């Protein structure tokens, strides 16, 4: 914490954190917040503890949990401007299917209006931090809800092209506008950063990546202020800092050094200019064009993992129906690897037989 600051709050440039509950946010004036981005405690016995090891009760009776959230959502409505947009992140688990809907309903019951459900895909191909189920009863959960709510249906605005991606088909430029940008849609692919067990257990084991609040804030035109009533590690204010927007956060059970370092890290954040998945076909098409200038053969995979990556690319090209000799090159490289592995599988037992007599060899000893 910087010298001279009160013990119950933190200020970093234009970002302010209050170390208290957000059920009553007396520090914030009525109608002064333009964007709210938050992910409340999920009430799943997760670890939300402070430097002093005080901890949020993340195992409340369901009705108590929802009433607690209603108090927060109600005060969020009070501080929200008429044009305010509220991005509410909540996910379901195998043991509490439907709780996310109840959390959003709680917001609607105090006056918020639901506009849209954005799907946040938080893990692609198993990359980044996520928790595998290890179950034979269900699939890994790789996405969560981002519910878009507003205070006044007639006065809010969002600009999807603020986070737009270039057209794959450039002929659409001029047909649908003068910019080489299109609406990215309501499926956002923002992977969790890789983390270690030690990082996860710093008191808040469910931080979302900075790219998520960054996009949420950026799509709201002329936003002046941002609020996160469940700040956690401080990611929302890191995004606000990067965007040069005044931010407020509330965290009753803070890890103060972690919050400070997270917010400060926003200065160095670099948004990814293009999201890979919406450009799936264009990316593969470019790869096919590039390979034409490569040598006539591909290197043989050096490991089973690399061999599997070759196989995935080959399968993708075939499913897209692309006519390219890269498929044949991949097939050849995979075949050579498999043949070498088979030869090694034969050689190893033969090496063990070296030095044996003919009778020992024939007896299989």
Q: At what angle do helices 235-243 and 211-218 cross, to 10 degrees?
A: 50
Q: Are residues 144 and 248 in the same domain?
A: yes
Residue 255 in contact with residue 202, Cβ under 8 Å? yes
Residue 1 lies in a domain: no
Q: Are residues 83 and 42 in the same domain?
A: yes
For the four alpha carbons of 266, 272, 276 and 278, in that order, the dihedral sign comes to positive
User: Rounded to 5 degrees, what are φ and ψ at 79?
Assistant: -80, -10
Give me 339's structure tokens.
Answer: 């043949």
Going by pLDDT thresholds of 50, 70 and 90, the confidence category of residue 276 is very low
The Cα–Cα gap between 95 and 131 comes to: 15
Closest CA to 294 of 329, 248, 262, 332: 329
What pLDDT is recorded for position 182? 73
Question: 31-45, 114-128, 174-188: lowest mean pLDDT where?
Answer: 174-188
Q: What's the order of all strands across the beta sheet hosting 225-228?
A: 9-12, 15-18, 246-250, 225-228, 33-38, 80-90, 143-150, 113-121, 187-189
Residue 59 lies in a domain: yes
Check whether 215 has a pLDDT greater than 80: yes
What pLDDT is recorded for position 19? 95
Summarize the confidence of residues 242-251 as an average pLDDT.
97
- Per cent of the chain over pLDDT 90 is 43
Q: Are residues 122 and 215 in the same domain?
A: yes
Q: Are residues 264 and 288 in the same domain?
A: no
* CB-neighbour burial class of residue 254 (10 A; exposed 0-12, middle 13-18, buried 19+): buried
Residue 16 lies in a domain: yes
Give me 184's structure tokens.
Answer: 């990215």
Going by pLDDT thresholds of 50, 70 and 90, the confidence category of residue 346 is low
Total domains, the chain:
2
**Which has the higher per-residue pLDDT, 177 or 30?**
30
- Write the CA distances from 311 to 29, 128, 215, 338, integer angstroms: 58, 22, 34, 12
DSSP codes, 21-50: -SSS-TTS-TT-EEEEEE----SSS--BB-
pLDDT digits (tens, 9 = 90+) for 294-327: 667 778 888 887 888 788 778 777 766 677 788 8
Q: Are residues 134 and 184 in the same domain?
A: yes
Q: Are residues 224 and 339 in the same domain?
A: no
Give me the domain span that covers residue 313.
277-363
Q: Are residues 325 and 226 in the same domain?
A: no
pLDDT digits (tens, 9 = 90+) for 140-163: 778 899 999 999 999 999 999 898
Q: Are residues 133 and 23 in the same domain?
A: yes
Say which residue the tokens 């991606």 belong to.
165
pLDDT digits (tens, 9 = 90+) for 202-213: 444 557 889 999
Strand runs labelled E in the chain: 9-12, 15-18, 33-38, 80-90, 113-121, 143-150, 187-189, 225-228, 246-250
The Cα–Cα gap between 140 and 93 comes to: 10
Residue 3 lies in a domain: no
CATH number at residue 25: 3.40.50.150
Check whether 172 has a pLDDT greater than 60: no
The Cα–Cα gap between 224 and 150 comes to: 16
Check whether 275 has a pLDDT greater than 60: no
Question: 101-110, 113-122, 158-167, 241-250: lowest mean pLDDT where?
Answer: 158-167
Q: Are residues 232 and 314 in the same domain?
A: no
Summarize the confidence of residues 177-199 as an average pLDDT.
67
Domain boundary among 208, 235, 268: 268
Alpha-carbon Rg for the chain in angstroms: 26
What pLDDT is recorded for position 39? 94
pLDDT digits (tens, 9 = 90+) for 27-77: 999 999 999 999 998 876 565 555 565 555 566 788 999 999 999 999 999
What pLDDT is recorded for position 31? 98
pTM, 2 dp: 0.72
The Cα–Cα gap between 117 and 119 comes to: 6
Check whether 199 has a pLDDT greater than 60: no
What pLDDT is recorded for position 127? 45
DSSP for residue 182: B
Residue 281 lies in a domain: yes
Domain boundary among 268, 294, 325: 268
Task: Work out the mean pLDDT of the chain and round it to a whole number.
Answer: 80
Domain boundary among 223, 240, 268: 268
The Cα–Cα gap between 116 and 154 comes to: 15
Q: Are residues 106 and 239 in the same domain?
A: yes
The Cα–Cα gap between 22 and 7 comes to: 17
Q: Are residues 194 and 332 in the same domain?
A: no
Q: Are residues 239 and 281 in the same domain?
A: no
What pLDDT is recorded for position 89? 96
Give me 216's structure tokens.
Answer: 């949420």
């Amino acid at each position: 914490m910087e010298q001279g600051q009160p013990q119950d709050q933190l200020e970093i440039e234009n970002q302010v954190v209050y170390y208290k509950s957000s059920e009553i946010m007396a520090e914030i004036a009525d109608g002064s917040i333009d964007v709210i981005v938050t992910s409340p405690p999920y009430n799943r016995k997760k670890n939300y503890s402070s430097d002093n090891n005080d901890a949020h009760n993340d195992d409340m009776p369901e009705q108590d949990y929802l009433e607690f959230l209603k108090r927060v959502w109600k005060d969020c409505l009070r501080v929200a401007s008429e044009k305010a947009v509220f991005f509410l992140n909540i996910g379901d688990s195998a043991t509490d299917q439907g709780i996310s809907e109840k959390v959003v309903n709680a917001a609607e019951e105090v006056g918020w209006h639901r506009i849209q459900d954005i799907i946040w895909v938080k893990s692609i191909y198993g990359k980044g931090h996520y928790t595998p189920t290890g179950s034979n009863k269900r699939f890994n959960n790789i996405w969560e809800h981002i519910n878009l709510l507003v205070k006044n249906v007639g006065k809010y605005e969002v600009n999807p092209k603020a986070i737009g991606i270039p057209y794959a088909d450039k002929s659409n430029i001029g047909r649908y506008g003068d910019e080489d940008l299109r609406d990215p849609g309501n499926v956002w692919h923002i992977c969790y950063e890789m983390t270690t067990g030690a990082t996860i257990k710093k008191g808040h084991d469910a931080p979302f990546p900075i790219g998520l609040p960054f996009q949420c804030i950026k799509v709201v035109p002329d936003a002046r202020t941002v609020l996160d009533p469940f700040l956690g590690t401080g990611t929302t204010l890191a995004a606000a800092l990067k965007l040069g927007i005044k931010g407020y956060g509330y965290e009753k059970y803070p890890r103060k050094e972690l919050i400070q370092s997270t917010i400060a890290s926003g200065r160095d954040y670099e948004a990814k200019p293009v999201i890979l998945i919406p450009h799936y076909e264009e990316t593969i098409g470019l790869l096919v064009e590039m390979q034409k200038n490569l040598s006539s053969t591909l290197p043989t995979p050096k490991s089973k993992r690399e061999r599997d990556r070759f196989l995935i690319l080959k399968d993708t090209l075939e499913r897209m129906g692309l006519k390219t000799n890269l498929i044949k090159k991949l097939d050849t490289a995979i075949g050579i690897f498999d043949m070498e592995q088979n030869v090694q599988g034969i050689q190893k037992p033969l090496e063990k037989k070296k030095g044996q007599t003919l009778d020992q060899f024939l007896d299989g000893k």
